[in-house]
Chains A and B, each alone.
Chain A
Amino acid sequence: MPVMSYIQAITTALKEEMQRDENVFILGEDVGKKGGVFRATDGLYETFNEARVLDTPLAESAIVGVGIGAAMYGLRPVAEIQFADFIMPAVNQIISEAAKIRYRSNNDWNVPMTIRAPYGGGVHGALYHSQSVEAVFANQPGLKIVMPSTPYDVKGLLKAAIRDNDPVLFFEHKRAYRLLKGEVPEEDYVLPIGKADVKREGTDITVITYGLCVHFALQAAEKLAEEGIEAHILDLRTVYPLDKEAIIEAAKKTGKILLITEDNKEGSIIGEVAAIIAEHCLFDLDAPIRRLAGPDIPSMPYAPTMEKFFMINPDKVEKAMRELAEF
């Protein structure tokens, strides 16, 4: 089985879906000749020509709004927002339009569109190239938000997003692009949107997280295993709507829960995960639910000292996991 990076899995999924279905096309800034600022669409312009790998004007609301129109006509646009931080001008199109079109038209119209955007910090991106924006969209029924953690999941979930008949936000951790590598089958496969995935079986503590933090938790778990602490790790994969069954099952398994996000703590995805556990698992808990998250400051600063302070890393995760295990 070939080993590829997280970003290669994205390019592969895009290419295969464009070959499979002529209605799939890409639009965004610099996605054409340049192949994207991160090179996620590398080679696609040459393979599929300009009409299907469209360089748009620098205008995010138009990228999404035009995508919505094309989707209503029957195409399957994959819009790239260059950085998740720059999705804000398109929020009206995403929340007022894409999310509500099926509902408001009583199932007459729908928007089969995927919006890809790189998120996350740890790359010296400062305030506006580091943010996690999923919580902005995570109370908008009609939207699905996918945040994969491995190259294998990237390929299967991006294909599922493109084939989905509703709008999907697909957030890719930009530091994971070249940091994470893994085996990815050559054959066509899709993974279910809305389903979490157990990334490690364990009996002592449960870690529930998503994105790059899954990788940190897995690293920390190996260290703790040497001390006899076995961590159960659940990767949410889809952060909206949440896989409640999987969350409840994972929480009940050990009764000691650590929730991790790179986002600011208050109002983040893991607050909702904590509420689900509180509602369903109170009498199964052996410790208070713990949360490890970014600080409640507007965004990630540029200076390496402050950036490191903000970012989640394997050491912070290991410390939090050990404390919970010892509770």
Chain B
Amino acid sequence: MTTKRHRDLGLTDEQVLEIYRIMLLARKIDERMWLLNRAGKIPFVISCQGQEAAQVGAAFALDRKKDYVAPYYRDMGVVLAFGMTSTELMLSGFAKAEDPNSGGRQMPGHFGQKKNQILTGSSPVTTQLPHAVGVALAAKMKNDPIVSFVTLGEGSSNQGDFHEGLNFAGVHKLPVITMVENNKYAISVPIEKQIASKTVADRAKSYGMPGITVDGNDPLAVYKAVKEARERALNGDGPTLIEAITYRLTAHSSDDDDRLYRKSDEIDEARKNDSMITFNKYLKDTGILTETIEKQINDEIIQEVNQATDYAENAPYAQPEDALKHVYEE
């Protein structure tokens, strides 16, 4: 029997099953959204596929009732772990009025939900990083024992806000954890044409913080890195930059054709390390995921995704004039 690595990290069998369940839920919602898009029912999808392990592993290392997150557009795993529901994600996919992220104003993937400490996001990349630093600054000023957690892609690590935000966090030793989900591509441009340093984590040195590269396909490795970063942050030891190595299994979005810039064998090779397979195997090898439990999880998720889809599809749109609301405080 495989060693139960999660026990050494302080995770119970139930907790790792829950990590797996949320990863699988994210994958299944995402897959459903692609079907809905190709069926002409929703205009746009941007995927989490291939990055669920990093997202859910990281979220479980945080205090999901108190910590703040500034996710980027692929972070379905993060927002699900922080309390957003399948139905709410589907409402966003269908751009319906009840969508808690934006009331149908933004494209899917532009997360935000105050009651679950999820900051609102936009499309220009990396703007969320200084926001997370600002949350950390405010929490420090208020002596609130929380951290803020921000994610972005490796392409986004080239933006000025990455440098400005991390330097600010480093100078003021703020409790903020930055996780770059390195999925190897910024739309079509590969990592070697994006960054000149060997790793994204290498950049941490100039901001006076630890830079850690972890296997983003292993939720336990990511959990460990984020947990340690959180402890450092709460001890007043400042920020951490984590680079989780993943792979983007889908095209950039529903409007992208990735056959134009990468070979299918590269994707096939990456699929062998898909965390949905490897973590499933780990849980089976450790005897935690039995056939009965797996069937139960799969059945429940299919039912949940079906119900969410039906609800969102039948939910009303905002009224046209609702476009005029909430420009300023009313």
Contacts and interface: CB of A to CB of B under 8 A. Distances in A.
B102 A106 contact: yes
B122 A100 contact: yes
B129 to A, nearest CB: 7
Nearest 9 A-B pairs (CB), nearest first?
A69-B134, A65-B130, A106-B103, A62-B164, A69-B131, A73-B138, A105-B120, A66-B134, A70-B138
Contacts of B172: 54
A287 interface: no
Given A57-B164, A65-B161, A166-B329, A106 B105 contact: yes
Given A59-B168, A97-B122, A108-B113, A103 B134 contact: no
Interface string B90-134: 000000000111110110001011100001101110010111111
12 contacts: A52-B141, A64-B130, A65-B127, A65-B133, A69-B70, A69-B119, A73-B139, A75-B142, A106-B105, A109-B114, A141-B327, A166-B329
Interface in B123-174: 123-124, 127, 129-139, 141-142, 148, 160-161, 163-165, 167-168, 171-172
A105 B118 CA distance: 11
Most buried by A among B110, B130, B330: B130
A104 B165 contact: no
A109 B119 contact: yes
B68 interface: yes
Given A57-B168, A65-B129, A104 B122 contact: yes
B328 interface: yes
Contacts, number: 143
Interface of B: 68, 70, 99-103, 105-106, 110, 112-114, 119-120, 122-124, 127, 129-139, 141-142, 148, 160-161, 163-165, 167-168, 171-172, 325-330
A108 B172 CA distance: 29
Given A73-B134, A102-B328, A108 B114 contact: yes
Given A92-B161, A93-B161, A110-B329, 10 more contacts: A25-B141, A52-B141, A69-B135, A69-B138, A73-B134, A89-B160, A104-B105, A104-B110, A104-B120, A108-B100
